[in-house]
Amino acid sequence: MIIIKRHRYLIARRVVQIGFLVIFAGSNYAGWSILKGNYSSGTVLDAIPLSDPYAVLQILFSGFLAGNDLLFGALIILIIYGFFFGRGFCSWICPLNIISDSAIAVSKRLKIEPSFKMSVKTRYVIMLLGLVLSALLGVSAFEIVSPVAILHRGVIFGIGFGWTIILALFLFDVALVKNGWCGHLCPLGAFYSLISSYALLNVKHDSDNCTNCNRCFGVCHEPQVLDIIGKQSGVIKSGECTNCARCIEVCDDDALKFSITNRLLKKN
Amino acid sequence: MSSRRDALRKIFNSAMIAGSGGLVWGTVASSAAKSPLALRPPGALVDDKFVQACIKCGKCVVACPYDTLMLAEVTEDKCLGTPFFEPRKIPCYLCTNYPCIKACPSGALLIDNIQQESEPANIENARMGLAVVHKESCIAFSGIQCDVCYRACPLMGKAIVLVKEKNEFTGKHANLKPVVNSDYCTGCGICEKVCIVEKAAIFILPVDLVTGKTGDHYVNSWEKNDEKRIENRETLQRSTDEDVESAIEYLNSDNELFEE
Ligand code: SF4
Ligand code: SF4
Ligand code: SF4
Ligand code: SF4
């Protein structure tokens, strides 16, 4: 019971992540029409389009005016994450997150210290590079090599040798850079970080309750976002926070919880 | 002073890393975008445009009732994630309501592409590829009556016609040779699927790979409106910057003839 409570958000996240994969795969293998397509673009109940805004942006940069369904779908996703769930895609939806989380768990278990250091800002450069290259090459530069897409497409439509790429990323994360892909390289994560700085759903810190045990720093995969811990009450402002709630689960002093805060209209 | 130098060095380093990474990425991406042999679903834009437009969502794959379409995987030379089909496995059965095209959100598959002028869209206007007959392995060319591809073709008698030819070996029989007409062939690949020889003797290749172009210099005068083609030919437009006058001068001058 305690274990379940300790990991309530982790369990919820995995249920959501795997649930979406099953629903998508069901559209291909069993003909369900709850959600058709994949994470690049899907259709809810044969009616509402959804699409990956970064992928659509690349298509636009490549010089093709994407179809209305894609544009509209991208807008819906932008609203869902930008206004409501922040960078929730990364920890609640993206299937690659399961791989990168397990890489961290494995290196912890094997006591491997991934020692290669890299700036967490690298991903923003890659994100911009993805757009510039799309414009230069006339083709969506990241989508054409994206391991995120290789994985979700692989689960839904068959992966072939794509698993080698996923394995390579896993080993990279285990041995070279902690949270290397999701926290340093992934341009999609970077994109969601940029659009979600003012989302409603946030982790809120109460520094009066905080005992400075620093356990949240130990579990957070983006610890740079926890700059206010123990110093000042308020919400975690950075869009790089994935709303994974690991910090909430680990905090025994009731100093961290989810909150709905409208920071667009209100200061702080 | 030295901290400023450090900062500059850091910026320089990052720029170098971004530059070299970008070059590698760009090279990989542009070679990954090439897919000269892929057969695309009906209504697809021509290949470069198709690869540019497709968001790789697989909705066309899901929509196809015959499981014709697949998404390209990493080791295939068909541009990762884009849909294609292999007719010998499962051809396109030319659904009259083209669910694949309707499902496409990106504009990579377009109803316009199977529409001719004011007529309603018709799947028979699809041009996914073009059937090619290898006559040395087609048994009809060696006198055996087959016509399986001819009968299976959804555009029987138009896309494939049987051409009669005297069988010189027996002197009494006819060879009934399947011949493809590119004006009608949709590239659906049903013929390739049903061909009875070990490795299909009729098969689909991308249209561009197996078609030529006559150009504007030749006009079929017996074909109605064929000369309309040359009205906006490129050579006419180019003639403005050609030195016509000096050419006429040269042809008319007879100076050389009278030179001693
Ligand atoms: S701050 Fe908390 S919710 Fe945000 S990424 Fe870190 S652990 Fe997850
Ligand atoms: S026309 Fe029908 S059979 Fe052909 S690819 Fe589209 S959905 Fe499949
Ligand atoms: S439905 Fe359109 S965008 Fe999606 S994979 Fe098929 S061709 Fe590409
Ligand atoms: S591909 Fe074959 S079966 Fe299909 S239209 Fe062309 S000749 Fe007929």
Average pLDDT for B44-69: 91
The rounded distance, in Å, linking the Cα atoms of A95 and B170 is: 67
Contact assignment for A36 to B107 by CB distance below 8 Å: no
In contact, A54 and A90? CB cutoff 8 Å: no
Chain A residues with beta carbon closer than 8 angstroms to that of B107: 64-67, 70
The rounded distance, in Å, linking the Cα atoms of A251 and A226 is: 13
User: Which band of pLDDT confidence, cut at 50, 70 and 90, is reported for residue B259?
Assistant: low
Residues constituting chain B: 260
Average pLDDT for B91-109: 93
Residue A37 backbone phi and psi in degrees, to 5 = 105, -140
User: Which band of pLDDT confidence, cut at 50, 70 and 90, is reported for residue A168?
Assistant: confident
Asked whether residue B2 carries a pLDDT value surpassing 70, the answer given is no
Average pLDDT for B63-82: 89
Mean pLDDT is lowest, of A220-224, A228-232, B2-6, for B2-6
Instruction: Check residue A268 and give its pLDDT.
Output: 45
User: For a pLDDT cut of 90, what percent of chain A falls above it?
Assistant: 17
Report all structural domains of chain B as residue ranges with CATH numbers, in order of start. Answer: 4-125 (3.30.70.20), 130-210 (3.30.70.20)
Instruction: Compute CA distances B162 → A36, B138, B157, whole Å.
Output: 43, 13, 8
Q: Please give the full DSSP string across B127-170, using - where no structure is assigned.
A: -S-EEEE-TTT-GGGGT----HHHHH-TTBTTTEEEEEEE-TTT
SS3 track for B97-125: CCHHHHHCCCCCECHHHHCCCCCCCCHHH
List chain A domain ranges: 2-194, 197-260
Instruction: Check residue A61 and give its pLDDT.
Output: 92
Instruction: Check residue B190 and give its pLDDT.
Output: 94
Instruction: Check residue B34 and give its pLDDT.
Output: 84
Picking from B50, B48, B54, the residue whose alpha carbon sits closest to that of residue B34 is B48
User: Which band of pLDDT confidence, cut at 50, 70 and 90, is reported for residue B233?
Assistant: low
Instruction: Check residue B8 and give its pLDDT.
Output: 80
Nearest to A144 among B18, B22, B32 (CB): B32
Name the 3-class secondary structure at A26: helix
Average pLDDT for B108-130: 89
Asked whether residue B237 carries a pLDDT value surpassing 70, the answer given is no
Q: What is the CATH number of domain A197-260?
A: 3.30.70
Tell me how many degrees the CA angle A31-A35-A37 measures, rounded to the nearest 5.
80
Distance (Å) from CA B177 to ligand 2 centroid: 28
**Across the A/B interface, how many CB contacts are shorter than 8 Å?**
139
Local structure of residue A42 (DSSP, 8 states): E
Asked whether residue B201 carries a pLDDT value surpassing 80, the answer given is yes
- Sheet hosting strand A35-37, strand order edge to edge: A35-37, A41-44, A48-51
The amino acid at residue A240 is E
Name the token pair of B250. Answer: 């040269």
The rounded distance, in Å, linking the Cα atoms of B62 and A98 is: 25
Nearest to B28 among A42, A69, A145 (CB): A145
What are the tens digits of pLDDT across the range B154-186?
999 899 999 888 888 887 888 888 999 999 999
Helices A96-109, A147-157: axis angle to 10 degrees equals 110
User: Which band of pLDDT confidence, cut at 50, 70 and 90, is reported for residue B36?
Assistant: confident
Give the residue on B whose Cα is nearest the Cα of A40. B57
User: Which residues on chain B place their C-beta less than 8 Å from a C-beta of chain A?
Assistant: 14, 18, 21-22, 25-26, 28-30, 32-33, 48-49, 51-53, 55-59, 61-63, 70-71, 73-76, 79-81, 103-107
The rounded distance, in Å, linking the Cα atoms of B129 and A165 is: 32
Nearest to A129 among B25, B49, B106 (CB): B25
User: For a pLDDT cut of 90, what percent of chain B falls above it?
Assistant: 43
User: Which band of pLDDT confidence, cut at 50, 70 and 90, is reported for residue A250?
Assistant: confident
User: Which band of pLDDT confidence, cut at 50, 70 and 90, is reported for residue B260?
Assistant: low
The count of other CB atoms within 10 Å of the CB of residue B224 is 8
In contact, B98 and B63? CB cutoff 8 Å: no
Residue B147 backbone phi and psi in degrees, to 5 = 50, 25
- Is residue B148 exposed (0-12), middle (13-18) or buried (19+ Cβ within 10 Å)? middle
Distance (Å) from CA B66 to ligand 1 centroid: 45
Among all ligands shown, which has an atom nearest to the Cα of A101?
A: 1
In contact, B54 and B80? CB cutoff 8 Å: no
Instruction: Check residue A161 and give its pLDDT.
Output: 82
Q: Please give the full DSSP string across B170-199, using - where no structure is assigned.
A: TSS-EEEEEEE-TTT-----HHHHH--SSS
Q: How far A34 CA sits from the closest chain B CA (Å)?
A: 12
Mean pLDDT is lowest, of A68-82, B9-23, B207-221, for B9-23
Instruction: Check residue A58 and give its pLDDT.
Output: 93
Which stretches within A66-180 are classed as H helix?
A: 68-79, 88, 96-109, 122-137, 147-157, 162-171, 180
The rounded distance, in Å, linking the Cα atoms of B81 and A41 is: 12
Instruction: Check residue B32 and give its pLDDT.
Output: 83
pTM for the predicted model, two decimal places: 0.83
Helices A96-109, A8-29: axis angle to 10 degrees equals 140
- Which of A87, A94, A241, A249 for mutating ligand 1's site (highest number of atoms within 8 Å of CB)? A241
